[in-house]
Amino acid sequence: MAAEIIRIESLRYAWPGQPLLLAIDEFLLARGERLFLKGPSGSGKTTLLGLIGGVNRPDAGTVRLLGEDLYTLSSSRRDRFRSDHIGYIFQMFNLLPYLSVIDNVTLACSFSPVRRERALADHQSLTAAARSLLIGLGLQDSYLQRPVSELSVGQQQRVAAARALIGKPELIIADEPTSALDADTRQTFISLLFDECARAGTSLLFVSHDASLETLFDRSLSLGQLNLAQRQENA
Ligand SMILES: Nc1ncnc2c1ncn2[C@@H]1O[C@H](COP(=O)(O)OP(=O)(O)OP(=O)(O)O)[C@@H](O)[C@H]1O
Protein backbone atom coordinates (compact mmCIF):
# COMPACT_ATOMS: atom_id res chain seq x y z
CA MET A 1 0.00 0.00 0.00
CA ALA A 2 1.29 3.50 -0.85
CA ALA A 3 2.86 5.42 2.03
CA GLU A 4 1.00 8.55 1.03
CA ILE A 5 -2.63 9.27 0.25
CA ILE A 6 -1.98 11.61 -2.70
CA ARG A 7 1.06 11.63 -4.98
CA ILE A 8 1.16 14.06 -7.91
CA GLU A 9 4.04 13.95 -10.38
CA SER A 10 4.79 16.17 -13.39
CA LEU A 11 1.17 17.32 -13.62
CA ARG A 12 0.14 19.72 -16.38
CA TYR A 13 -3.41 20.95 -16.83
CA ALA A 14 -5.19 23.59 -18.92
CA TRP A 15 -8.92 23.99 -19.44
CA PRO A 16 -9.74 23.56 -23.16
CA GLY A 17 -8.74 26.64 -25.16
CA GLN A 18 -7.11 28.31 -22.12
CA PRO A 19 -3.45 28.80 -21.15
CA LEU A 20 -1.65 26.38 -18.85
CA LEU A 21 -3.29 26.65 -15.40
CA LEU A 22 -1.46 24.07 -13.30
CA ALA A 23 2.13 22.80 -13.56
CA ILE A 24 2.99 20.81 -10.44
CA ASP A 25 6.16 18.74 -10.45
CA GLU A 26 5.56 17.03 -7.12
CA PHE A 27 2.96 17.10 -4.40
CA LEU A 28 2.47 14.56 -1.62
CA LEU A 29 -0.12 14.27 1.12
CA ALA A 30 0.78 11.86 3.92
CA ARG A 31 -1.60 9.50 5.71
CA GLY A 32 -3.36 11.29 8.52
CA GLU A 33 -1.90 14.68 7.51
CA ARG A 34 -4.03 17.83 7.74
CA LEU A 35 -3.08 20.27 5.01
CA PHE A 36 -4.35 23.82 4.55
CA LEU A 37 -4.26 24.86 0.86
CA LYS A 38 -4.67 28.54 0.05
CA GLY A 39 -4.52 30.69 -3.05
CA PRO A 40 -6.32 33.65 -4.60
CA SER A 41 -9.64 33.28 -6.36
CA GLY A 42 -9.18 31.76 -9.81
CA SER A 43 -5.73 30.32 -9.03
CA GLY A 44 -6.90 26.76 -9.69
CA LYS A 45 -7.63 25.26 -6.26
CA THR A 46 -10.97 23.71 -7.22
CA THR A 47 -9.48 22.52 -10.51
CA LEU A 48 -6.72 20.77 -8.56
CA LEU A 49 -9.30 19.10 -6.29
CA GLY A 50 -11.06 17.87 -9.45
CA LEU A 51 -7.81 16.37 -10.71
CA ILE A 52 -7.22 14.63 -7.37
CA GLY A 53 -10.75 13.20 -7.38
CA GLY A 54 -10.44 12.02 -10.99
CA VAL A 55 -13.09 14.45 -12.24
CA ASN A 56 -10.64 16.36 -14.45
CA ARG A 57 -8.13 14.43 -16.55
CA PRO A 58 -4.49 15.61 -16.48
CA ASP A 59 -3.01 16.69 -19.83
CA ALA A 60 0.31 15.22 -18.68
CA GLY A 61 1.75 13.60 -15.56
CA THR A 62 0.04 11.46 -12.93
CA VAL A 63 -2.22 11.91 -9.96
CA ARG A 64 -2.28 8.88 -7.67
CA LEU A 65 -4.76 8.33 -4.89
CA LEU A 66 -3.68 5.53 -2.52
CA GLY A 67 -1.21 4.48 -5.21
CA GLU A 68 -3.91 4.22 -7.90
CA ASP A 69 -3.80 6.31 -11.08
CA LEU A 70 -7.52 7.01 -11.41
CA TYR A 71 -7.27 7.51 -15.16
CA THR A 72 -6.16 3.90 -15.71
CA LEU A 73 -9.59 2.86 -14.33
CA SER A 74 -12.87 2.71 -16.27
CA SER A 75 -15.19 5.60 -15.50
CA SER A 76 -17.48 3.43 -13.33
CA ARG A 77 -14.53 2.02 -11.34
CA ARG A 78 -13.17 5.54 -10.99
CA ASP A 79 -16.52 6.74 -9.57
CA ARG A 80 -16.56 3.80 -7.16
CA PHE A 81 -12.94 4.40 -6.10
CA ARG A 82 -13.77 8.05 -5.39
CA SER A 83 -16.85 7.15 -3.31
CA ASP A 84 -14.90 4.49 -1.38
CA HIS A 85 -11.90 6.62 -0.49
CA ILE A 86 -12.87 10.32 -0.51
CA GLY A 87 -15.39 12.18 1.59
CA TYR A 88 -16.27 15.67 0.34
CA ILE A 89 -17.37 18.74 2.26
CA PHE A 90 -18.45 21.65 0.06
CA GLN A 91 -19.00 25.33 0.68
CA MET A 92 -22.74 24.96 0.04
CA PHE A 93 -22.99 21.56 1.79
CA ASN A 94 -24.87 19.82 -1.08
CA LEU A 95 -27.26 18.11 1.33
CA LEU A 96 -30.68 16.80 0.27
CA PRO A 97 -33.06 19.21 2.05
CA TYR A 98 -36.12 16.93 2.23
CA LEU A 99 -34.20 14.01 3.78
CA SER A 100 -33.60 13.72 7.51
CA VAL A 101 -30.22 14.50 9.05
CA ILE A 102 -29.53 10.78 9.61
CA ASP A 103 -30.56 9.83 6.05
CA ASN A 104 -28.31 12.49 4.54
CA VAL A 105 -25.37 10.97 6.40
CA THR A 106 -26.09 7.29 5.71
CA LEU A 107 -26.68 8.06 2.02
CA ALA A 108 -22.89 8.19 1.50
CA CYS A 109 -22.81 4.43 2.22
CA SER A 110 -25.32 3.69 -0.57
CA PHE A 111 -22.67 4.62 -3.12
CA SER A 112 -19.90 2.68 -1.40
CA PRO A 113 -20.18 -0.88 -0.08
CA VAL A 114 -16.64 -0.44 1.32
CA ARG A 115 -17.68 2.45 3.52
CA ARG A 116 -20.91 0.67 4.45
CA GLU A 117 -18.95 -2.35 5.68
CA ARG A 118 -16.50 -0.20 7.60
CA ALA A 119 -19.34 1.68 9.29
CA LEU A 120 -21.07 -1.61 10.18
CA ALA A 121 -17.82 -3.08 11.54
CA ASP A 122 -17.85 -0.44 14.28
CA HIS A 123 -21.61 0.00 14.83
CA GLN A 124 -24.77 -2.12 14.91
CA SER A 125 -26.42 -0.18 12.11
CA LEU A 126 -25.73 2.67 9.70
CA THR A 127 -28.08 4.82 11.75
CA ALA A 128 -25.95 4.15 14.85
CA ALA A 129 -22.76 5.00 12.90
CA ALA A 130 -24.29 8.26 11.65
CA ARG A 131 -25.61 9.15 15.10
CA SER A 132 -22.23 8.60 16.72
CA LEU A 133 -20.56 10.95 14.22
CA LEU A 134 -23.28 13.59 14.48
CA ILE A 135 -23.13 13.62 18.27
CA GLY A 136 -19.30 13.75 18.06
CA LEU A 137 -19.66 16.78 15.79
CA GLY A 138 -21.87 18.48 18.35
CA LEU A 139 -25.38 17.96 16.95
CA GLN A 140 -28.04 17.14 19.51
CA ASP A 141 -30.18 14.00 19.32
CA SER A 142 -33.38 16.02 18.92
CA TYR A 143 -32.26 17.20 15.46
CA LEU A 144 -31.37 13.85 13.95
CA GLN A 145 -34.76 12.88 12.48
CA ARG A 146 -35.59 16.38 11.20
CA PRO A 147 -35.26 17.39 7.55
CA VAL A 148 -31.93 19.19 7.11
CA SER A 149 -33.75 22.25 5.72
CA GLU A 150 -34.86 22.95 9.34
CA LEU A 151 -31.26 23.26 10.58
CA SER A 152 -29.05 26.33 10.89
CA VAL A 153 -26.13 26.83 8.51
CA GLY A 154 -23.62 25.74 11.19
CA GLN A 155 -25.66 22.62 11.96
CA GLN A 156 -25.94 21.75 8.26
CA GLN A 157 -22.18 21.97 7.93
CA ARG A 158 -21.82 19.40 10.73
CA VAL A 159 -24.19 17.10 8.85
CA ALA A 160 -22.05 17.55 5.72
CA ALA A 161 -18.95 16.67 7.75
CA ALA A 162 -20.59 13.54 9.18
CA ARG A 163 -21.62 12.49 5.67
CA ALA A 164 -18.02 12.90 4.51
CA LEU A 165 -16.63 10.95 7.48
CA ILE A 166 -18.99 7.97 7.65
CA GLY A 167 -17.27 4.69 6.75
CA LYS A 168 -13.82 6.20 7.36
CA PRO A 169 -12.66 7.26 3.89
CA GLU A 170 -8.87 7.75 3.78
CA LEU A 171 -9.21 11.34 2.55
CA ILE A 172 -11.53 14.24 3.27
CA ILE A 173 -11.52 17.02 0.69
CA ALA A 174 -13.04 20.21 2.04
CA ASP A 175 -13.53 23.11 -0.40
CA GLU A 176 -14.17 26.37 1.51
CA PRO A 177 -16.25 24.50 4.11
CA THR A 178 -16.28 27.28 6.67
CA SER A 179 -17.03 30.31 4.52
CA ALA A 180 -20.71 30.34 5.54
CA LEU A 181 -19.90 30.09 9.27
CA ASP A 182 -19.17 32.86 11.78
CA ALA A 183 -15.74 33.01 13.46
CA ASP A 184 -16.72 31.12 16.65
CA THR A 185 -18.61 28.37 14.86
CA ARG A 186 -15.70 28.06 12.43
CA GLN A 187 -13.13 27.29 15.14
CA THR A 188 -15.46 24.80 16.84
CA PHE A 189 -16.27 23.14 13.55
CA ILE A 190 -12.58 22.74 12.67
CA SER A 191 -11.65 21.32 16.03
CA LEU A 192 -14.51 18.78 15.91
CA LEU A 193 -13.58 17.89 12.35
CA PHE A 194 -9.96 17.34 13.42
CA ASP A 195 -11.07 15.07 16.28
CA GLU A 196 -13.17 12.92 13.97
CA CYS A 197 -10.44 12.76 11.30
CA ALA A 198 -7.90 11.68 13.96
CA ARG A 199 -10.27 9.02 15.25
CA ALA A 200 -10.69 7.58 11.75
CA GLY A 201 -7.03 8.10 10.66
CA THR A 202 -8.33 10.24 7.79
CA SER A 203 -6.16 12.79 5.93
CA LEU A 204 -7.64 16.24 5.39
CA LEU A 205 -7.09 18.49 2.39
CA PHE A 206 -8.71 21.75 3.34
CA VAL A 207 -9.02 24.62 0.85
CA SER A 208 -9.78 28.03 2.27
CA HIS A 209 -9.21 31.77 1.93
CA ASP A 210 -9.45 32.18 5.70
CA ALA A 211 -5.86 32.75 6.88
CA SER A 212 -6.94 32.71 10.55
CA LEU A 213 -7.36 28.93 10.34
CA GLU A 214 -3.98 28.23 8.75
CA THR A 215 -1.93 27.73 11.93
CA LEU A 216 -4.28 25.02 13.18
CA PHE A 217 -3.09 22.62 10.47
CA ASP A 218 -0.06 20.28 10.28
CA ARG A 219 1.04 22.06 7.09
CA SER A 220 0.00 25.08 5.08
CA LEU A 221 0.71 25.50 1.40
CA SER A 222 -0.02 28.21 -1.08
CA LEU A 223 -0.95 26.97 -4.54
CA GLY A 224 1.29 29.73 -5.95
CA GLN A 225 4.33 28.11 -4.28
CA LEU A 226 3.46 24.74 -5.71
CA ASN A 227 2.32 25.76 -9.15
CA LEU A 228 5.14 26.44 -11.65
CA ALA A 229 2.64 27.86 -14.18
CA GLN A 230 1.70 30.63 -11.76
CA ARG A 231 5.31 31.27 -10.75
CA GLN A 232 6.30 31.75 -14.39
CA GLU A 233 3.35 34.10 -14.91
CA ASN A 234 4.42 36.19 -11.90
CA ALA A 235 8.17 36.21 -12.78
N1 LIG B 1 -15.39 24.05 -16.01
C2 LIG B 1 -14.51 25.00 -16.39
N3 LIG B 1 -14.33 25.26 -17.71
C4 LIG B 1 -13.44 26.18 -18.12
N5 LIG B 1 -12.66 26.92 -17.28
C6 LIG B 1 -12.81 26.70 -15.97
C7 LIG B 1 -13.73 25.75 -15.46
N8 LIG B 1 -13.63 25.74 -14.11
C9 LIG B 1 -12.71 26.67 -13.79
N10 LIG B 1 -12.20 27.24 -14.90
C11 LIG B 1 -11.17 28.30 -14.94
O12 LIG B 1 -10.01 27.83 -14.28
C13 LIG B 1 -9.44 28.88 -13.49
C14 LIG B 1 -9.31 28.40 -12.05
O15 LIG B 1 -10.59 28.19 -11.50
P16 LIG B 1 -10.79 27.44 -10.10
O17 LIG B 1 -12.26 27.36 -9.84
O18 LIG B 1 -10.03 26.16 -10.11
O19 LIG B 1 -10.08 28.49 -9.11
P20 LIG B 1 -10.16 28.60 -7.52
O21 LIG B 1 -8.76 28.87 -7.05
O22 LIG B 1 -10.82 27.39 -6.94
O23 LIG B 1 -11.07 29.87 -7.33
P24 LIG B 1 -12.06 30.30 -6.11
O25 LIG B 1 -11.19 30.53 -4.92
O26 LIG B 1 -12.69 31.56 -6.61
O27 LIG B 1 -13.05 29.18 -5.93
C28 LIG B 1 -10.34 30.10 -13.65
O29 LIG B 1 -9.74 30.95 -14.62
C30 LIG B 1 -11.63 29.53 -14.19
O31 LIG B 1 -12.29 30.42 -15.05
Which residues does ligand 1 sit against, CB inside 6 Å?
15, 21, 39, 41-47
Condensed to tens digits (0 to 9), the pLDDT of residues 57-86 reads: 999 999 999 999 988 899 999 999 999 999
Residue 27: pLDDT over 90: yes
Could you state, in order of their start, the residue ranges of all structural domains in the chain?
A: 4-234
Taking residues 84-111, report their average pLDDT. 91
Give the pLDDT band (50/70/90) at residue 234: low
| CA 234 to the chain's CA centroid | 29
Q: What stretches of the chain adopt beta strand conformation (E)?
A: 4-13, 22-30, 34-38, 60-65, 68-69, 86-90, 171-175, 203-207, 219-222
Q: Tell me how many degrees the CA angle 128-86-167 measures, rounded to the nearest 5.
A: 20
At residue 42, the 3 state secondary structure works out as coil
Condensed to tens digits (0 to 9), the pLDDT of residues 123-174 reads: 999 999 999 999 988 889 999 999 999 998 888 989 999 999 999 999 999 9
What's the pTM? 0.92
Give the separation between CA 101 and CA 158, rounded to whole angstroms: 10
Cα-to-centroid distance, 41 and ligand 1 (Å): 8
Condensed to tens digits (0 to 9), the pLDDT of residues 159-213 reads: 999 999 999 999 999 998 888 777 878 888 888 889 889 988 999 999 998 888 8
Minimal-distance CA residue to ligand 1 atom 31: 42
Look at domain 4-234 and name its CATH class: alpha beta
Q: What is the mean pLDDT of the chain?
A: 91
Between the alpha carbon of residue 4 and those of residues 55, 60, 99, 174, 200, the distances in Å are 20, 21, 36, 18, 16
Minimal-distance CA residue to ligand 1 atom 29: 42
Tell me the angle at which helices 126-136 and 153-165 cross, rounded to the nearest 10 degrees: 130
Minimal-distance CA residue to ligand 1 atom 1: 15
Whether ipTM tops 0.85, in short, is: yes
Give the separation between CA 166 and CA 162, rounded to whole angstroms: 6
